[in-house]
Chain A
Amino acid sequence: MGFIAWRLGGLYPSASSFPGTASDAVVVRRQSVYDCGMAAWDAGIRPGQAAREVRWRYPSAQVLAWRPDWYQATQEALGDWLAGHAARFAMETVEGMGGWWEYPRLDAETWRNLWGEVQSHWARRCQAGVAGHPLLARWIREEGERWHLPQWRGDGYTVYYLPEEKETKFWPYLPLRYLNVSPALRERWWRYGWECVGQVPGLLERLRLLPAGAAPPERLLLRETLAGEGEVLGRLLEYLGGQLTKVLAERGVGVDWIRVEWRGEGGERWHKARRWPEAVGERRRVLARLSSLLQVLPPWPPVEIAIEAEVHPLSTAQLGFWKEGDGGKKGRGMAGEAEERVGVGNLAWPQWRRETMWSFWDPWRRVGR
């Protein structure tokens, strides 16, 4: 429980040109509510709602068109305050003011103290969600009541929080609409009828791995002593590739950089490294990458080999086991192309459907799986 996703209302406008009376004003930006006064908030108006809803939700609203100078200083001051109080934070300023921030070991008492500062300087109302990941926190902020989650209520705020022991249960039900993904991927999910994270193969593991900010790439290291002259390169490749794939699969990550280092009897070292444009975790592709580095052997008999690999969460394109988006355009087809040169003459239609279906009945496509 360390991330607070919040949405603020009843902001203190910073420009003297702000014409509204504090309580009834509803500021609208790009057809949606940006901010509202306390009375409007209490009547159910929330930032992010469609502007057309304002009239029937709160008929006496004084609707104002948003102006950047009204909130600029408030936003900057709040950002400065967050920078001094949060381990990390992200601000949303398009559909109202909100975002998330990380605060270790947050409890009701700490929250009250923090809110006291926010309330006296920047905003009078707040709806928030607290969870161990920003995505969960955001979801809880919106739907905490529906899930009957425990809450802290107080002067101007409602905070739903997800107890740590419930997080594992909640992750699979996180709606996909809270994820920031490309429209194409969103449409594909929609076509499959997938609505929450647990329905998308592999997505859950990847999301759990994804920290809120940018994570430094992690590196794996495998080391193997060679059996001597009788060591067959193919067997070595199979073994090391298998080991690497196993680790990748267990952790739900892929590899986009591999360094192979050969060590000789006298301590000599000889290495070859390569980086690929995307991370892959599928066994066949990992083996293909590894084999490209094992093609050139050191000039002396090696006694040990070390493999270092940089791992990343798998790209969402690979979560469906195939590549779709750039399939036709860049001439890249199904996973495994490096070995089999799929798509020499590219068809105009995506190959993933065809290949996936055939993989069930065509023995030629099941080899090596």
Chain B
Amino acid sequence: MNQEGPYAFRWQRRYVRVAKILDSWRDVGEWWNAEPELWFWRVQGMEQGVYELAWDPQSDRWWLYRIYD
């Protein structure tokens, strides 16, 4: 991750480089259920795929949250 957000990630043994960050936002989560705040990025990969990535800054865990195509 750089200052703007993720620049690459792995998925299905592929290395996907981020060509463009389309959007980003934060979700405060169900704090009353101990759900942490999550950071989200919608990114376009070099191979034209669009993905949503989620990051939990507390535990530094990443998820590939959604794949658009």
Residues of chain A having any CB pair with chain B under 8 Å:
340-349, 353-354, 364
Cβ–Cβ contact A347 & B66, under 8 A:
no
Instruction: From the candidates A340, A346, A349, name the one contacting B30 in the complex (CB within 8 A).
Output: A349
Cβ–Cβ contact B27 & A340, under 8 A:
no
Q: Let me know if B46 is at the binding interface, CB within 8 A.
A: no
Cβ–Cβ contact B64 & A345, under 8 A:
yes
Instruction: From the candidates A340, A345, A347, A353, name the one contacting B68 in the complex (CB within 8 A).
Output: A340
Cβ–Cβ contact B67 & A341, under 8 A:
yes
Beyond A340-B68, A364-B42, whether A345 also contacts B63 by CB under 8 A is yes
Cβ–Cβ contact B65 & A340, under 8 A:
no
Within 8 Å CB of B58, what residues of A? none
B44 CB to closest chain A CB (Å) equals 12
**B: contact size bracket:** 10 to 19
Instruction: From the candidates A340, A341, A347, name the one contacting B63 in the complex (CB within 8 A).
Output: A347
Beyond A341-B66, A341-B67, A364-B42, whether A347 also contacts B54 by CB under 8 A is yes
Q: Which residue of chain A has its CB nearest to the CB of B27?
A: A354
A349 to B27, CA, bound (A): 12
The B interface, classified by DSSP as helix, strand, loop or mixed, is strand
Cβ–Cβ contact A340 & B35, under 8 A:
no
A266 to B6, CA, bound (A): 58
Within 8 Å CB of B57, what residues of A? none
Instruction: From the candidates A347, A348, A353, A364, name the one contacting B65 in the complex (CB within 8 A).
Output: A347
Cβ–Cβ contact A344 & B64, under 8 A:
yes
B14 CB to closest chain A CB (Å) equals 13
A190 CB to closest chain B CB (Å) equals 15
Q: Which residue of chain B has its CB nearest to the CB of A355?
A: B66
| Residues from 36 to 69 in B contacting A, C-beta threshold 8 Å | 38, 42, 54, 62-68
Task: Show 11 A/B contacts (Cβ-Cβ < 8 Å), sorted by A.
Answer: A340-B67, A341-B67, A344-B11, A344-B66, A345-B64, A347-B38, A347-B65, A348-B35, A349-B35, A354-B27, A364-B42
Cβ–Cβ contact A340 & B66, under 8 A:
yes
A215 to B59, CA, bound (A): 49
Q: Which residue of chain A has its CB nearest to the CB of B52?
A: A364
A341 to B67, CA, bound (A): 6
Cβ–Cβ contact A342 & B66, under 8 A:
yes
Q: Which residue of chain A has its CB nearest to the CB of B63?
A: A345
Beyond A353-B30, A354-B27, A364-B42, whether A345 also contacts B65 by CB under 8 A is yes
Within 8 Å CB of A345, what residues of B? 62-65
A347 to B42, CA, bound (A): 16
